[in-house]
Amino acid sequence: MKIGRQARVCVIGAGPSGIAAAKNLLQAGLTRLVVYDRQAAVGGNWLYSETPGGHSSVYETAHIISSRTLSQYHDYPMPAHYPDYPNHRQLKDYFQAYARHFGVEPYIQFNTEVRQVEPRPGHAWRITLGDGRVEDFDHVLVASGHLWNPRRPEYPGTFSGDLCHAHEYRTPGRYRGQRVLVIGGGNSACDIACDVARQASFTGLSWRRGYYVIPKVIFGSPPDVVNARFHWLPRAVRRRGVWLIWRLVTGGAAPYGLPEPDHGILEAHPIANSQLLYWLKHGAIQPRKDIARFDGPTVHFVDGTAEDYDAIIAATGYRITFPFLDPALIDFEDKDVPLYLRVFHPDFPTLYFIGLLQPQGCIWTLADWQARLVAQRITGGYELPGDVRRRIQRDLERQRRIFHASPRHSTEVDSYEYERALRRELPRLAR
């Protein structure tokens, strides 16, 4: 395994996590660096395209769900004129300015697909590109994202109307005057339901279970800013406090016709959405139970009711897949993610995962800390602990205790606890 500033390093992906990775590698003196990205510009999932089917899942009205204050890189603030919740255009501009500022752009090869990543002797890696080129590297950082490969729902029967995944959703005009059902209880499902409700004649929102819907403004501030003031408290105390605030501000789930959550408020990813509560109270969105089966245009629900729909949008999440890695080597789909600190693989010491997280906060600010630690690892300033497998198992057991058991939460972390864990591992001068 080649360690030191002469190592040749590859980063896969030039999205928010990939550019943070490249910046930290360059700052550590690792200039034998190449970043591959299949798109034409910096931005990753925040590169909006009117044409569905690419890497990005961003729709025309998308805004970030964490606040500007807690979503900006620690060493590159967002412009002061940005709102609390920037839109995708502002975020794209921010990421591209970041890449220029830190000199990352010259190292990126755009419009370049990574087809295959294979281990070589000595813990090296061979990468085959879409144009047929083959390159060898000493270290590979995977920052290709995990919100691009749709998880499509499976129900008995066949729906005869227009059925698509949220990954393909772009604008609500396609649904003007139609009866639309949105499936899912995540942030994308709720955002899309609110978007569609402005154009559709009827909008249903089907949930399998209850979730916590938190308004995007609490006491005049974004909820993550409010939560940040109390992150030093023990988790149990903070969880009780957050629940009380949610209950005080919203009144709970029942007043909106929604099912009560069956888990603690910090045990799963919350929904940050003020519009959903508004539209539910105005009748523009109608809550529905889980789906039992399809029968042509008719959707049968588990409570015995049935309704006809013209279109269904399935916001049912994404599969964690890396098509360039042999599943026999790396397979995290519907499984635990057995990485130390969500970064280091115990069997492949020169393969690192950046941004493979579902934080209760922002991904790319944590990716920045991950990459700083990886840069120290490559330059010889950091060694993995000798009992790394035991630590991974301990972390997985803790994950199962504190977060809801589902594929969606296999990468869930508490942002503050996780950042502290990363910073503890960094050599003192690199913090």
C-alpha count within 13 angstroms, C-beta hemisphere, residue 178: 19
Q: Order of strands across the sheet with 291-295?
A: 291-295, 298-301, 306-308
C-alpha distances in Å from residue 53, one per residue of 12, 48, 50, 168: 20, 11, 10, 6
Q: Which pLDDT score, from 0 to 100, does residue 360 have?
A: 83
For residue 431, the model assigns a pLDDT of 66
- Choose among 362, 355, 338: nearest CA to 410: 338
Give me 361's structure tokens: 């906060």
Per-residue pLDDT at 406: 67
Q: Which two tokens stand for residue 80?
A: 């002061």
State phi, psi for 73 to the nearest 5 degrees: -60, 145
Domain 9-149+318-430: CATH class, spelled out = alpha beta
Q: What is the pTM of this model?
A: 0.94
Give the pLDDT of residue 168: 95
- Each residue's pLDDT expressed in tens, for the chain with a length of 431 residues: 899 999 999 999 999 999 999 999 999 999 999 999 999 999 999 999 988 867 888 999 999 999 999 999 999 999 999 999 999 999 999 999 999 999 999 999 999 999 999 999 999 999 999 999 999 999 999 999 988 899 999 999 999 999 999 999 999 999 999 999 999 999 999 999 999 999 999 999 999 999 999 999 999 999 999 988 888 888 889 889 999 999 999 999 999 999 999 888 888 888 999 999 999 999 999 999 999 999 999 999 999 999 999 999 999 999 999 999 999 999 998 888 999 999 999 999 999 999 999 898 899 999 999 999 999 999 999 999 999 999 999 999 988 888 876 666 678 888 999 999 999 999 876 66
Burial 89-121 (b: 16+ CB within 10 A, else e): ebbbbbbbebbeebebbebbeeebebeebebee
CA distances for 282 relative to 13, 20, 260, 311, 345, angstroms: 42, 42, 20, 22, 50
* Topology agreement, domain 9-149+318-430 and domain 162-314: yes
- Which CATH number describes the domain made up of 162-314? 3.50.50.60
Domain residues of the chain, as ranges?
Answer: 9-149+318-430, 162-314
* Beta pairing, strands 358-359 & 213-214: unpaired
Instruction: List, for residues 408-429, the tens digit of each pLDDT value.
Output: 667 888 899 999 999 999 987 6
pLDDT, position 76: 98
